[in-house]
Structure 1
């Protein structure tokens, strides 16, 4: 098995080229993954390529018929419509298990984007803060300082300080690897607790992404997930408060 293998699912690659790519792989709170998976479904995107790698975790996945398959990441294409440009999406099962693999895969993703004519990459992810966040901010990292004004105008934070410690994994590497290949890039990270799948943070990230690209997505599915999460958290908080009140009754 090769370190990185790309299998194309379309005969005419050039027919699926476009200038904008959006990446959302599994990470903190699955913030970016939720957004990209939602957009792939709501925009009826078609699969263009599949990427497998020995740098992925040795965790096989079950298909619907019970057959095991290798972990994979995939490239999807959504055709443009009035009010929305064509877009590519990078989605999938996982990221690399080690530092070297992150660099190798980052370069591989950028090569695929280059073949497809990409000029700007948006990477989406989460920034764990260790607590529940009711109104998450969206932090950013840029390939070029010239992008800062537009990113701030779209509602993201760009202060040169946050995210503290930088950006680990594909969300940061795709921006820097893309810059070396002549592409612009913006990383958008939604604040999240870090220990829950967080559609509320995903919605905040989508808000900024829509303004930067200039389109409006169907929010039905993502909004439903966010409402369910908030309801579950409210019930959990009420339960904790009730248990605390019950405990106090034993204190004389």
Structure 2
């Protein structure tokens, strides 16, 4: 029987202890920016899966693979063992479908960070601006004012009115909840239109995250995806322009 929130570690991880780990949250969100960054890092660094999270607060659906095989929606934990510094990644299929679930799941994620003795939490996401962005900025937030100089030195922007509406979901809630547990936390948000999956914003976030954590990640493949998406966007813009020109000609 499924419980409200079930966290299960793989047998292969149960006797392991991460070394001074950093906790990186990259769940689905605006432009899928955080998800792209975290999953790209998992792939490029060769991180290994260490656990699964199931919950009744995730959408009531199953996920199908290419063969039609079904499984419950879930979130997952991955571990990368670096030189003197490990990385724990939280990725997955969905965030909560309810306000209550957002709070309870974020609380559970912070409990995991405490249990695994994370030194800092990084939450990743997109900052939707409602229009196409050629050179995405990376906006930031933190749960302790003393962290700001370090973030600004890495290129994170802190503009007075952005994000004006706050930060929704795990990326925001984990900042507040981790502060209560005495863990430093940082949120990095890539500027994105919010209309499409945005590898350009993801590349901007990853470049800064790599500086902050001191773990280099080859951006080549992500930049290639960003270039491909840029061409798609240019095609959409041109198509829209042609359509408008045709409408004007017809009206004239």
* Category of TM-score, reference length = shorter chain: over 0.9
Q: Distance in 1 between matches of 2:117 and 2:81?
A: 14
Residue 70 to residue 111, structure 1, CA distance change in 2 (3 Å): same
TM-score w.r.t. length of structure 2: 0.93
Q: Distance in 2 between matches of 1:160 and 1:145?
A: 14
For the pair 1:158 / 2:139, whether they are aligned, the reply is no
Show the counterpart of 1:187.
187
Query: Is residue 18–residue 88 contact of structure 1 (8 Å, CA) maintained in 2?
Result: no
Once the two structures are TM-superposed, the CA of residue 147 in structure 1 deviates from its matched residue by 0.2
Query: Is residue 140–residue 187 contact of structure 1 (8 Å, CA) maintained in 2?
Result: yes
Once the two structures are TM-superposed, the CA of residue 15 in structure 1 deviates from its matched residue by 2.7
Show the counterpart of 2:4.
3
Once the two structures are TM-superposed, the CA of residue 17 in structure 1 deviates from its matched residue by 4.5
SS at structure 2 position matched to 1:15:
coil
Once the two structures are TM-superposed, the CA of residue 251 in structure 1 deviates from its matched residue by 5.0
Alignment of 1:163-182 (within 5 A): 163-182=163-182
Alignment of 1:14-53 (within 5 A): 14-53=16-55
Query: Is residue 136–residue 204 contact of structure 1 (8 Å, CA) maintained in 2?
Result: yes
Residue 237 to residue 220, structure 1, CA distance change in 2 (3 Å): same
Once the two structures are TM-superposed, the CA of residue 171 in structure 1 deviates from its matched residue by 0.2
Count residues in correspondence: 250
Show the counterpart of 1:92.
92
Residue 5 to residue 205, structure 1, CA distance change in 2 (3 Å): same
For the pair 1:147 / 2:144, whether they are aligned, the reply is no
Query: Is residue 77–residue 90 contact of structure 2 (8 Å, CA) maintained in 1?
Result: yes
Deviations, residues 170-205 of structure 1 (Å, cap 9, x unaligned): 001111111111110000111111111111111111
SS at structure 1 position matched to 2:17:
helix
Once the two structures are TM-superposed, the CA of residue 221 in structure 1 deviates from its matched residue by 2.4
Runs of 4+ in 1 over 4 A off after TM superposition: none
Residue 87 to residue 11, structure 1, CA distance change in 2 (3 Å): closer
Q: Distance in 2 between matches of 1:17 and 1:103?
A: 28
Show the counterpart of 2:198.
198
Show the counterpart of 1:107.
107
Show the counterpart of 2:70.
68
Query: Is residue 14–residue 116 contact of structure 1 (8 Å, CA) maintained in 2?
Result: no
